[in-house]
């Protein structure tokens, strides 16, 4: 089955720790995205990547980092510099820069800071 | 910058009835796309329907249809014959039509829809 997987589903972090959220897709999509969702708010863009080895900051990139070493993978690291990391994190992908195209989402990761 | 506004935080509809969710947006651009996404309790974001701004015809997908009013910058979603499985959070989203850059989405704050017996 083609799709986007995110792991883990739930993640707990102690203050001061870095954690990495996984996002993998087998849709052969070039572009990938990370969003954050807080209660009562829509999704906000953290980072996006149009192609391997390239990524750009979104609207709320502070305290986060990403890498894109493989087309299929776009991990997000939540660093200790992120002041309020408790949120629901969604990864998405789309065909890529040659298209203005629909984004498809993974099932999400719920991050809680203890 | 583009903004998307959903003015109805919560709505309720009885099973088999019709409900309309509102969305307005603000942009100075002429070429763009609009989307409705559904987020059920599982929290998976699911595409419901998509509308290209250059198309005058309103998009439809089975029981879901939109009323796209470009001049008014309005994009409402109509759900006909509502089913219990339609219970979810519904998000309106906007995307500029570019080539050469990744297609970034701007979301509204969502409308929580409850379908009741």
How confident is the prediction along chain B (117 residues), in pLDDT tens digits per residue? Answer: 789 999 999 999 999 999 999 999 999 988 899 999 999 998 999 999 999 998 889 999 999 999 999 999 999 999 999 999 999 999 999 998 875 666 788 999 999 999 999
Choose the closest CB to B102 out of A31, A43, A108. Answer: A31
A104, containing H or E segment: strand A104-105
B67 contacts: CB under 8 Å, gap ≥ 6: B20, B58, B74, B75, B76, B78
Regarding predicted confidence, which is higher, A57 or A83? Answer: A57
| A44-48 average pLDDT score | 94
Q: Give which of A79, A48, A37 is closest to B104, Cα–Cα.
A: A48
- Yes or no: say if B94 and B4 are a contact pair by the CB < 8 Å rule: yes
- Give burial (CB, 10 Å; 0-12/13-18/19+) of B10: exposed
Enumerate chain B positions whose Cβ falls within 8 A of a Cβ in A.
4, 33, 35, 37, 42-47, 50, 91, 93, 95-105, 107-110
């Amino acid at each position: 089955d083609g799709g986007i997987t995110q792991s883990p589903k739930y993640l707990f972090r102690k203050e001061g720790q870095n954690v990495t959220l996984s996002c993998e897709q087998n849709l052969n999509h070039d572009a990938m995205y990370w969003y954050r969702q807080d209660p009562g708010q829509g999704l906000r863009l953290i980072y996006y990547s149009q192609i391997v080895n390239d990524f750009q900051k979104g609207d709320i990139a502070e305290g986060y980092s990403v890498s894109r070493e493989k087309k299929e993978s776009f991990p997000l690291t939540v660093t200790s510099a992120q002041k309020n990391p408790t949120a629901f994190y969604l990864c998405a992908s789309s065909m890529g820069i040659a298209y203005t195209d629909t984004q498809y989402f993974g099932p999400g990761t719920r991050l809680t800071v203890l | 910058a583009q903004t998307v506004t959903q003015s109805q935080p919560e709505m309720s509809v009885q099973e088999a009835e019709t409900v309309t969710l509102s969305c307005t947006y603000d942009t100075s651009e002429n070429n763009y796309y609009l989307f409705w996404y559904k987020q059920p309790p599982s929290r998976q974001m699911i595409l419901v329907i998509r509308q290209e701004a250059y198309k005058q015809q309103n998009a439809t997908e089975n029981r879901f249809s939109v009323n796209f009013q470009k001049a008014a910058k309005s994009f409402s979603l109509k759900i006909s014959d509502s089913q219990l499985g339609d219970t979810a959070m519904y998000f309106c989203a906007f995307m500029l039509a570019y080539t050469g850059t990744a297609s970034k989405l701007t979301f509204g704050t969502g409308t929580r829809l409850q379908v009741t017996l």
